[in-house]
Structure 1
Amino acid sequence: MSIVETRATAESGLTPAQRDDLRVIAATMIPASAEYGVPGADDPAIQADILATLGRDTMRVREALDRIARLAGSPLAALDPIRRDAVAKEFRASGGVAAATLVRVVLQCYYRDDRVLRSLGLEQRPPFPKGHALEQGDWSLLEPVKAKPPMWRRAP
């Protein structure tokens, strides 16, 4: 293992095989689209963002990737596309919290990529300090929630 691979593994908390499987499962979730001019979630910049921002989700993502590898019987990246899709479907059906975490991590990094934002017609900037305009909705929908008794105890 090279120094760069060792550093990336240490920083992300994932093994090289797990990083390869993450790349493959991300591409399965969101493939590149020439029609819309957007990269897939396996794009190197998006993958780097995922690895750099795993943080508190590292344990759940590792758990999801380990489950995928067990379902595949080998690293997912080593399988043919048809078998990969079958494993992805099986994982999606039985993945639980770890699967939800993996999906959230991939989606949040994908949808903050400048190229993806540009394709959606969104300004490429952080949401603050300018904020984003939000359509006003039907505030009466909150009345049942407001009517509930408090779910906490008062501090002394």
Structure 2
Amino acid sequence: MTDTQTPLRDPSFMQALLDLVIPPGRDGRMPGAGSLRLEATVAADIETDDRLGPVVARGLESVRDAALARNPGGFVALSGSERLAVINGLGSKDGMLMFAIARHLYTAYYQHPRVLEALGEPARPPFPEGFEVEPTDPRLLELLQVRARR
């Protein structure tokens, strides 16, 4: 990571962080979020979030600084338990950090084809092969139009 690169735009940092938020499943079925290469998508979503984006940016700077204080290699060089300790150590100071990251990460994670397949869902949007829609009863539409006129 360069001195000018923010943690949010550091792929290695973000992959390690995302794997901490959603680690790989113990049975190997569910992938960790960091292994799915979601960091750019999550970073872009966070950067456009006017409310929580600045909270995350400041929080990630704190995570980076705390990790560097533990190990000159930074967050990526820490073990999983050390990474968790860094995050937990900032809990009272940056309480919204993990919530804000998870808010954007969960959407990207649960739309990823590998995750959908692991959940037993087809790795495609629900349409055009999606849901069957029952025929509409025209009498109900007429009833709604009558009520709308009142």
3-state secondary structure, aligned to 1:112 = coil
Q: Give the TM-score normalised by structure 1.
A: 0.58
1:23 to 9, 12, 15: 15
CA distance in 1, matches of 2:7, 2:127: 30
- Aligned positions of 1:1-156 closer than 5 A: 14-16=8-10, 19-33=11-25, 35-57=27-49, 58-74=53-69, 75-126=74-125, 130=130
- Give the number of the structure whose residues are more often helix, by fraction: 1
Runs in 1 of length 4+ with deviation above 6 angstroms?
A: none
- For the pair shown, the structure with the greater C-alpha radius of gyration is 2
Amino acid at match of 1:123: P
Please report the RMSD computed on the Cα atoms of aligned residues, expressed in angstroms: 3.6
Q: Measured at CA, do residues 94 and 126 of structure 1 come closer, stay the same or move farther in structure 2, by a change above 3 Å?
A: farther
Amino acid at match of 2:112: D
Aligned length: 124
Instruction: Structure 2 unaligned segments of length 5 or more: list them.
Output: 133-150
Q: Give the TM-score normalised by structure 2.
A: 0.60
